Structure 1
Amino acid sequence: MAPDHRKPPPRVLVIIISIAFTLLAIPGGAVVALFIISLILRI
């Protein structure tokens, strides 16, 4: 599996930011945030 060096579209950044703000409003969102971060690192 060769890593893709293409830059991610701005939409991805907007989605990540929106998810981050949503997690801030959700109790225990830190656990979900860690899970999402692990998924992002695997990509």
Structure 2
Amino acid sequence: MGGLFNRKGDGFPGSKTLWIGLQCAADFVLSLEAQRSVSGIYG
């Protein structure tokens, strides 16, 4: 995904990096919910 390399001189991640990470996490949760709802229907 990129954004944070965690090198010694890089410092803390910025707000943009954190925001992109939160968006990706929300997308992941939505995809898990969709998969569970489909597997419940089709078994």
Structure showing greater relative contact order (alpha-carbon pairs closer than 8 Å, 6 or more residues apart): 2
TM-score, normalising length from structure 2? 0.47
Q: Greater share of helix residues, 1 or 2?
A: 1
TM-score, normalising length from structure 1? 0.47
